Chains A and B, each alone.
Chain A
């Protein structure tokens, strides 16, 4: 039996002892410069090898590459969203002062013991279910030993023998405009999902010849997801990571903020000739964003091909992605192959979860996590949302993907459709993913900082749908509001008299005027230069200050020109 402690019900509050803080401030960890390179720190100082000078661009053009097959497998560490650590009651907030979130256990003070955080197990099970994993009724914790200054106990508690869950699958769409001809669906199998604790952070001050240790991260709960090497390139990997992020964010089990280290992607990359055994793989670490996932892997594939084609060999090593120089560089701290001397963690009983609703013996399993109960709590997953958008609203799969990728857009969409059922879903989607994103981009604003509430956007959809305004006016309204006008879209239209001209007789007049005022263009058109038609349409727009219903203008103008051509 294992008793899981529940968050919030803090039975003991550990205050960080002054002793500990003083220990770290007055016993700054002094090492010389040569030593610093042995440290694994999250920010890896780039080590530029003289041979690795080519860039990603040139590699893309390497024609011989098609001759090779590349294999990519991902290992992803996702920080579980929780208020306290995996085995202690210390907090997990990001950005707090150094060593502020450290319990005695996190600092490996002798005599302290781990207590498993119930919330973390639940998050792990929920994630496992969302990824169609088989949840193990009993899993175990193990100690993985290695000496490192930011690993206070000298071992990490992880799940080595039997992880929390195994054998899942993640399906995702690879949709990268430009490089692949059309979007396609891909699956990657998940070997296992395990719970483990994070290590602390070493900071190296090379000038002062010392290293400092911050244990705020030590003991932070992580889910490690190990994927099978099912992927072929960086784009697939980036697409997988993006889809995983959507799922985890939807579940609320991980913030997926890569910039905070809440999601870390390591890629195992190898290349081989078709029909031959897999090549020697390298591990690429320190990938800081979804885009970097694609770039780093793509770079590494090309690097390996280049080395092999030059008659070289690939060595099994860990490399770090350097975002500045856009290349992978060897991480010199992991040169030696370590024997982690795994051992069962004797202070944590086996972790049992209840797979079926009904326990065989009532009350025996009162503390156990009920998997069926969690299954019922699973929210709608991104793939289900996309299917719903295409099936229920008739939105294209590409648009559905964009809406689901941006939770704010999706929420706007739902709000707009909810407010008035008669609104055209496709028109609404276009306003969101074309017009809204464009204007925010121009102003360099994030979606979260958007000044447009859903009802404003909905009103613009209404104005468009009722043909009261055209698209150009819609853009002008957005511009007006983003510049600080607090009026509603209808009020803006009214104030500036931007109502669309739809009256056919009025448009007749406009077209007649355009033809009269531009005899040269008309002449060119009649002599077969039909391209100038657009210029004539533009003149009509200009005369009406973009208020004319352009479809009608095109219609009327075409008729009139035809008459001139064939009197």
Chain B
């Protein structure tokens, strides 16, 4: 049950096969069982059970609020949740209980979703591994030592999922699975990766690593991440789930504790493209509390009609083929391009010449906004306050040096340097100009008739922890974000979806980027690819 999509579980709930409370209990059990993966910063058991019970009543009375009603979800720990600790994985906010709900959290709640918990992340979302957290690192579910089965959709002609899972219901989804692999650390058929060892495992990616593992492992059916330079797509890619970064301005950032205001967007993590669309439909729209959300009314996406792939023009930006990209990723990329081309899509190489400058530009803009956004953490109104009482300045200094990790402090320092009056034109202003050039690369692509761009999401499959921490946070972000952050610079939507397994038995994913506010086209193409590649679904053994 826990490996089903939102659509499928929703169908079961509507058919009365199960009730929300049972789903909630199963998810809580799963989350507890997977404790050592360190997915959750906090399980909101009481809230979840309460919300599930309320949902039970709605299903009984037939006033179900949405497809998400009664379905357990999780949110990254940088979304404000009323009276529930929101730490941003930082000592600074270790005991911070926001007095309000973020708009997207409120929308989930209004849709009837059940909040299972808050997910681990890199401190203040600065990182790409979910390793820099006061709560410790999050581990990838893949090759983690947990026993799981891989299920693959083999078409509508085979036996029904209910039979496979030993369920008696004759209703429900016609989606059908069969056992494909039986991969676990002890019975790895590929044999290319050694079993996960203590202290050396595969990272979840980041910074929304907790949210990605929560969805991949079956602890929840969907989760919110946040995406500033790839923080939703990177862990989604490493964990084999769908990660959607919507257009900037489509979803409210109110209540999302900011990293880079001009690039942050709430990210959606689900097991299927359809589910991503379901969440997008619930979350999108103008918010008075966020002046940067677009006022145009949002038209809900409908992916029920298959698209005619032969009418789609797909761009392959050559600059995304960069040093450090593994052969497997390259093969995956060209493999999917071939599939699309064979199906009649027009696949063309395009040039986005400013892509290599993107990382440097991003790092300047990121650090400047970080320096500014972090200025409020001074120990006065909320958050950590040290016992220092010699002077206000000393209190600030000691609170901020104890409250922030080295990465955060480093970015604050650099950002303040870039913003000094004498440096501003050479760094910040220059970076804004480069950002415009990067955004223009995208508009040129769209104006040449490209519908979506196809690129890798990450340069390799998930790295091992030991390998990942051998480089510092700054270096890691520079390579991890290479393919993802240009979309944040341009504000356009992007989605990552798993394609196949690597030789190590880890997910390999690709990214699609589309025109701003054309999530409909983007997700339609993603759904087509999803169906075509039929990536296996992970099911934990009970």
Residue ranges of A at the interface with B (Cβ–Cβ < 8 Å): 1-3, 5, 11-12, 17, 19-20, 23-24, 27, 29-32, 34-35, 38-39, 104, 107-116, 143, 145, 147, 149, 152-155, 211, 213, 339-343, 346-349, 367
Q: Evaluate contact between A347 and B390: CB separation under 8 angstroms.
A: no
Q: Which residues of B346-376 have CB atoms within 8 Å of chain A's CB atoms? A: 368-369, 371-372, 374-376
27 pairs from A and B in contact (CB 8 Å cutoff): A1-B294, A1-B295, A3-B286, A3-B288, A11-B288, A20-B381, A23-B382, A24-B381, A29-B392, A31-B389, A104-B99, A107-B381, A107-B382, A108-B376, A109-B80, A110-B88, A111-B257, A113-B253, A113-B254, A115-B291, A147-B378, A152-B376, A340-B421, A341-B416, A341-B421, A342-B424, A346-B292
In the complex, the answer to whether B288 meets A115 with C-beta atoms within 8 Å is yes
Chain B residues within an 8 Å CB radius of A154: 372, 374-376, 378
Give the top 7 A-B pairs by smallest Cβ distance, nearest first: A154-B375, A17-B99, A341-B419, A346-B261, A35-B391, A346-B262, A108-B376
Q: For the A-B complex with A110-B257, A147-B396 known, give 6 more contacts whose Cβ atoms are closer than 8 Å.
A: A1-B294, A111-B79, A153-B376, A154-B372, A211-B392, A343-B419
The residues of B that contact A348 with a CB separation of less than 8 Å are: 291-292
Residue numbers in A under 8 Å from B295 (CB-CB)? 1, 3, 367
CB contact between B391 and one of A32, A109, A112 (< 8 Å): that residue: A32
Residues in B whose Cβ lies below 8 Å from that of A1: 294-295
The reply to whether A347 and B261 contact each other, CB–CB distance below 8 Å, is yes
State whether the Cβ of B514 lies closer than 8 Å to any Cβ in chain A. no
A113 near B290: Cβ-Cβ < 8 Å: yes
Q: Please, which residue of chain A has its CB at the minimum distance from the CB of B288? A: A11
Say yes or no for B385: interface residue by CB 8 A criterion. Answer: yes
Residues of A within 8 A of B329 (CB): none
- Measured CB to CB, the nearest residue on chain A to B96 is A110
Q: A110-B376, A113-B289 are in contact. Are A152 and B99 (CB under 8 A)?
A: no
Partner of B289, one of A108, A115, A155: A115
User: Which of B257, B291, B378, B382 is the one whose CB lies under 8 Å from A2?
Assistant: B291
Which residues of B approach A to under 8 Å, CB–CB? Answer: 79-80, 86, 88, 93, 96-100, 102, 253-258, 260-262, 286, 288-292, 294-295, 368-369, 371-372, 374-376, 378, 380-382, 385, 389-393, 395-396, 416, 419-421, 424, 428
Closest to B419 in A: A341
Shortest beta-carbon distance from B175 to chain A in Å: 38
User: Contact: B391 with A111, CB < 8 Å?
Assistant: no
Cβ of A2: which chain B residues have Cβ within 8 Å of it? 291
Contacts of A34 on B, CB cut-off 8 Å? 391
Bound: A2/B382 CA distance, A: 30
Q: Whole-angstrom distance between the alpha carbons of A11 and B419 in the complex?
A: 36
Min C-beta distance of B425 to chain A, whole Å = 12
Chain B residues with CB below 8 A from A116, complex form: 291
A539 to B368, CA, bound (A): 87
With the chains together, A339 CA to B416 CA distance in Å? 10
Q: Collect the chain A residues with CB atoms within 8 Å of residue B290's CB.
A: 113, 347
Knowing A110-B80, A155-B375, A346-B369, say if A149 contacts B420 (CB, 8 Å).
Answer: no
B99 touches A109 (CB 8 A): yes
CB distance from B313 to the nearest CB of A (A): 30
Query: Chain A residues near B376 (CB, 8 Å)?
Result: 108, 110, 152-154
**Distance from B105 Cβ to chain A, minimum over Cβ atoms (Å):** 10
Q: How far is the CA of A213 from the CA of B380 in the complex (A)?
A: 9
A143 touches B382 (CB 8 A): no
Contacts of A115 in B (CB 8 A): 288-289, 291
A-chain residues with CB within 8 Å of residue B86 when the two chains form the complex: 110
Point out the residues of chain B lying under 8 angstroms from A104, CB to CB. 99-100
Q: Is the Cβ of A20 less than 8 Å from the Cβ of B99? A: yes
Q: Is the CB of B99 within 8 A of A38?
A: no
Instruction: Write the nearest CB–CB distance from B76 to chain A, whole angstroms.
Output: 12
Residue of B whose beta carbon sits closest to that of A102: B381
Q: Which residues of A contact B79 (CB under 8 A)?
A: 111
The interface residues of chain A lying within 8 Å CB-to-CB of B419 are 145, 341-343
Query: Complex formed: what's the CA distance from A367 to B258 in Å?
Result: 27
Among candidates A39, A111, A149, residue contacting B256 with C-beta atoms closer than 8 Å: A111
In the complex, chain A residues whose CB is within 8 Å of the CB of B385: 27
**In the assembled complex, which residues on chain A have CB atoms less than 8 Å from the CB atom of B395?**
31
Q: Are B98 and A39 in contact, with the CB atoms below 8 A?
A: no
Q: Which of B102, B295, B372, B421 has the largest count of A CB atoms less than 10 A from its CB?
A: B372
Residues of A within 8 A of B292 (CB): 113, 346-349
Q: Give the chain A neighbours of B368 by CB distance below 8 A.
A: 343
In the docked arrangement, what's the CA distance between A24 and B295, Å? 37
> Which residues from chain B contact A23 at a C-beta distance below 8 Å?
381-382
Chain A residues, CB < 8 A from B294: 1
For A149, the chain B residues whose CB sits under 8 A away are 378, 380, 392
Cα separation A34 to B391 with both chains bound (whole Å): 8
Known: A111-B256, A152-B380. A38 touches B261 (CB 8 A): no
Chain B residues, Cβ within 8 Å of A108 = 376, 381
| Contact between A145 and B253, CB atoms less than 8 A apart | no
Q: Are B424 and A38 in contact (CB under 8 A)?
A: no
Report how far A34 CA is from B390 CA in the complex, Å.
9
Give Cα distance in the complex from A3 to B287, angstroms: 10
Select from chain B the residue with minimum beta-carbon distance to A115.
B291
The complex places the Cα of A348 from the Cα of B291 at a distance, in Å, of: 6
List of B residues within 8 angstroms of A346 by Cβ: 260-262, 292, 369
Identify the closest chain B residue to A39 (Cβ).
Answer: B392
CA distance A170 to B42 in the complex (A): 61
Asked, given contacts A110-B96, A111-B258, whether A341 binds B291 with beta carbons under 8 Å apart, the answer is no
A19 touches B380 (CB 8 A): no
| Chain A residues whose C-beta falls within 8 Å of the C-beta of B421 in the assembled complex | 339-342
Interface centre among A152, A340, A346 (most CB of B within 10 A): A346
Q: How far is the CB of B191 from chain A (nearest CB, A)?
A: 47
- Cα distance A268–B416 in the bound complex, in angstroms: 29
Bound complex: CA of A17 vs CA of B98, how far in Å? 10
CA distance A434 to B23 in the complex (A): 86
Least CB distance from A423 to B in Å reads 55
A30 to B395, CA, bound (A): 10
Q: In the assembled complex, how far is the CB of residue B235 from the closest CB belonging to chain A, in whole angstroms?
A: 21
B392 adjacent to A38 (CB under 8 Å): yes
In the complex, are the beta carbons of A111 and B378 less than 8 A apart? no
**Minimum distance in angstroms from A3 CB to a CB of chain B:** 6
Nearest B residue (CB) for A153: B376
**Is there an interface contact between A111 and B254, defined as CB atoms closer than 8 Å?**
yes
Q: Please report the C-alpha to C-alpha distance between residue A390 and residue B256 in the assembled complex, in whole angstroms.
A: 61
Residues of A within 8 A of B389 (CB): 30-32
Give the chain B neighbours of A107 by CB distance below 8 A.
381-382
Known: A23-B381, A111-B258, A347-B261. A35 touches B390 (CB 8 A): yes
A32 B390 Cβ-Cβ under 8 A = yes
- Enumerate chain B residues within 8 angstroms of A27, measured Cβ to Cβ: 385
**Contact: A349 with B291, CB < 8 Å?**
yes
- A107, A110, A341 — most chain B CB neighbours (10 Å): A110
Q: How far, in whole Å, are A482 and B229 apart by their CA atoms in the complex?
A: 76
- Contact B380–A29 (Cβ < 8 Å): yes
In this complex, the member of B96, B258, B291 whose beta carbon has the largest number of chain A beta carbons within 10 angstroms is B291
Which residues on A sit within 8 Å (CB–CB) of B256? 111
Instruction: Tell me, in angstroms, the Cα distance from A39 to B393 when the chains sit together.
Output: 11
Residue from A19, A24, A111, A147 within 8 A of B80 (CB atoms): A111
B419 to chain A, nearest CB (A): 4
Task: For the complex formed, measure the closest distance between the CB of B376 and the CB atoms of chain A, giving whole angstroms.
Answer: 4
- For A35, the chain B residues whose CB sits under 8 A away are 390-392
Name, among B256, B260, B381, the residue most crowded by chain A CB atoms within 10 Å (CB to CB).
B381
Interface centre among B254, B257, B420, B424 (most CB of A within 10 A): B254
CA distance in complex: A109, B228 (Å): 20
Q: Is the CB of B369 within 8 A of A343?
A: yes
B294 to chain A, nearest CB (A): 8
Output the least CB separation between B423 and chain A (Å).
9
> Contact partner of B97 among A12, A19, A112, A114, CB < 8 A?
A19
Distance (whole angstroms) from the CB of A147 to the closest CB of chain B: 6
Min CB distance A214 to B, Å, is 12
Nearest-Cβ distance from residue A135 to partner chain B, whole angstroms: 21
Q: B372 touching A110 by the CB < 8 A rule?
A: no
